[in-house]
Amino acid sequence: MRFLHVLRHEVVLQFRSLLLTAGGIAGAVTALQLLRWARGPQLFNIWGSFGAVMILAGVLITLGAFGDMRDPRRREEILLRPAAAWEKVGAKVLVSTVIFAAFLTVAYAVASLLALGGYLLLGGQGNPLVFLDRGRWIQRAAESFWGYLPVQAIFTFGAVYFRRNPLGRTLLAGVAWLVSYVLLGAIMVQIVFLPYLSGRYGTVAAPRIEGIALDGFEGSLLSGNVWARVAPEALFLEEPLYGLFNIAVVLICWGLAVLRFRETQG
């Protein structure tokens, strides 16, 4: 039950920030769309921005939740709080993931319903479900949350690990990792396809693949068309492997954040 106490304490601390952030963003996005009503009510769908907003605002919420780690006046209080490292980090993670996503989803739903009400009162005609992403708003919220988790996990680790400028340093570390990942992937793909290469196209850098009739742009080794010809079974593994990769990133980053917090606390 100690974890629930820690979680409740964290929710109380972050409640105002969550409420203002979710409500303010949903209101601002809706207000921008309402500007189009100068010539009469029109249908619009604010849910198209939901995924990007969740990531951008969620990163700020995450960094804010761990802000006491960088404040000398609050740092001692959180380190001496009677709870395990995983409980303290876990409470902040839940607030900046599940609870934040719930706040943002409710704020978007309320804003959509208010806009729908105004549209109907002004005599607008059309499919009212457009305001709720044609009834797919829950699905979009779930998909956006799934895409947000790896990003949140990375910035959780950055917020715990870096004491100064965690946003900038985490971004730099992420860019460096991404560049190295792409370079390593390109090298491995070149090695895999080396027996199939037979020169390059004259006007583009894409390689020619023996036995595969593709134009220059489709000839990229990263193209799904090439993989479908050479290793079609790889395409069936793309989605499950992507899901496993996301899960691994989330668990590893959260685990490292707990270990780093425990090291600091010790």
Is 215 within the bounds of a domain? Answer: no
Q: What percent of the chain has pLDDT over 90?
A: 38
Which tens digit of pLDDT belongs to each residue from 44-82? 889 999 999 999 999 999 999 888 877 777 777 777 778
Is 110 within the bounds of a domain? Answer: yes
Which of 103, 142, 132, 137 has its CA nearest to residue 22? Answer: 103
Is 197 within the bounds of a domain? Answer: no
Encoded tokens for 28: 């601002």
Does pLDDT of 203 surpass 60? no
Which tens digit of pLDDT belongs to each residue from 122-171? 877 778 788 888 889 999 999 999 999 999 999 999 999 988 888 899 99
Q: What pTM value is reported for the model? A: 0.81
Is 40 within the bounds of a domain? Answer: yes
CA atoms within 13 A on the CB side of 13: 18
Task: Please say whether the beta carbons of 50 and 144 come within 8 A.
Answer: yes
Is 138 within the bounds of a domain? Answer: yes
Encoded tokens for 236: 């069936």
**For residue 147, what are the CA distances in angstroms to 106, 140, 194, 249, 250?**
18, 11, 34, 12, 11
Pairwise CA distance, residues 30 & 192, whole Å: 49
pLDDT band at 207 (very low <50, low <70, confident <90, very high): low
Which of 113, 103, 124 has its CA nearest to residue 50? Answer: 103
Residues present in the chain in total: 266
Which tens digit of pLDDT belongs to each residue from 209-244? 555 544 445 445 555 556 666 666 666 677 787 889
Residue ranges making up the domain that contains 10 = 2-161
pLDDT at 72: 74
Phi-psi region of 214 (alpha: psi -120 to 50; beta: other; left: phi over 0): beta
Q: Which residues of 11-31 are buried (b: 16+ CB within 10 A; e: fewer)?
A: eebbeebbeebbbebbeebbe
**Burial category of 102 from C-beta neighbours within 10 Å (exposed 0-12, middle 13-18, buried 19 and up):** middle
User: Considering its fold, how many domains does the chain have in total?
Assistant: 1
Pairwise CA distance, residues 49 & 42, whole Å: 18
Q: In sequence order, what are the beta bridge partners of 207? A: 200
Is 97 within the bounds of a domain? Answer: yes
Which of 20, 26, 31 has its CA nearest to residue 49? Answer: 26
Is 178 within the bounds of a domain? Answer: no
Q: In sequence order, what are the beta bridge partners of 209? A: 197
Is 207 within the bounds of a domain? Answer: no
Q: How far is residue 12 CA from its own chain's centroid?
A: 24
